[in-house]
Structure 1
Amino acid sequence: MLNQVLHLHLPTRTSSPVIRTAAITGALALALVPAAGAGQNAQGPQPSPRPTPAGAFVVEQSVTVPGTPAKAFAAITGDVLPWWDHHLFANPRRMYLEPRVGGCFCEVADSLGGNAVRHAVVTVVDRPNTLRYEGPLGLTGMAVSAVTTYTFAARGDSTVVKVEFHAAGELPPGLDAAVDGVWRHFLAERFKPWYERTRGRR
């Protein structure tokens, strides 16, 4: 059911400026959500207990946008629904990143907030230089530890926005390049064009 409502948009390009693989079995798809009943296949239930792949890796992506680090920081937090297009729910009502320690990176499906998911929790805020959050993002239900760090550095009258994503744990093999493509999609194909159209205005 979940993979019927999740929209996974992976770029066709596989080249990456930086992928550091800390274990050859490590891989993580940010927008990959295990389907309900994933423990079963066409032949019926799988053996239990059973081994699962484990590993770790790091992905980095960056873009340059006009304006100050403070403006870029403000734009990438708060309401992210206009540019973050990978969702657990088919048509979420809200999706937001709270720029405070303990803040929620949350997706809300309905007006009452009863159906929702917490993708991550903010652990570091150094406005306007750094924002860090910890959480599995789309890999809800799997034994994964993931840390995402945004940094903002002035370059002339522009700002370099960099994302560094660390993942470790129960990771499906062969998907590290897909993770890199997803972050490239978020930053270069979604956030940067949206930011340049609106200049981060809210």
Structure 2
Amino acid sequence: MGFHETQFLAEMAIPLVLLVLIGTPVVRRALRTANRTGDTGARRRMLVGSAKAALCGFIPPVVWLSWNSTTTFWDTYRYGAPTQFPVWQIVACGVTLGLLGVYLNLKVVKNGFDIALYSLMMGTGFALAFSLGLRASVASQDGIGTVLAFVGIGLAAFVFSKVIQKICALVIWVRDRRARLNR
């Protein structure tokens, strides 16, 4: 079981191609809206936010799913990621993804286009980390797994972001209502 360069490049290309196909219309529409509203910092905000979102999707699986009790991080580097994990490790990866999603929503997201773009970037980051773990295998299902990781994390991040957005709007509404009643 060694390193297969062509499969590794193909696995890495899958989430990037999906990102370009899905993300390009989102970015173009967001930039048109930003130009119409006079938002001069939209390009920079989207670039920096996209990088942060991709890192937020990439870091948790690298930290939590690149080792287990029988495989060290360096074994993963040489032979690929392990396939068996204790439940706590998977839960820790999910909790870390959730916490990083909360960070993105509270500190980086400014509008609905940001939610869509950053969800795509989180899915891309996770799928890239997933494909790095597959780099030493030759199973034909690896490409399907990469696509499912991209779609699953991207959709989960989108739904999670919308829920956080609604909770924040509710908190602001309650705060404003209390302020009006206390006058």
- 1 or 2, which has the higher strand percentage? 1
The reply to whether TM is greater than 0.5 is: no
Instruction: Look at both structures and tell me which one has the larger radius of gyration over its CA atoms.
Output: 2
- 1 or 2, which has the higher helix percentage? 2
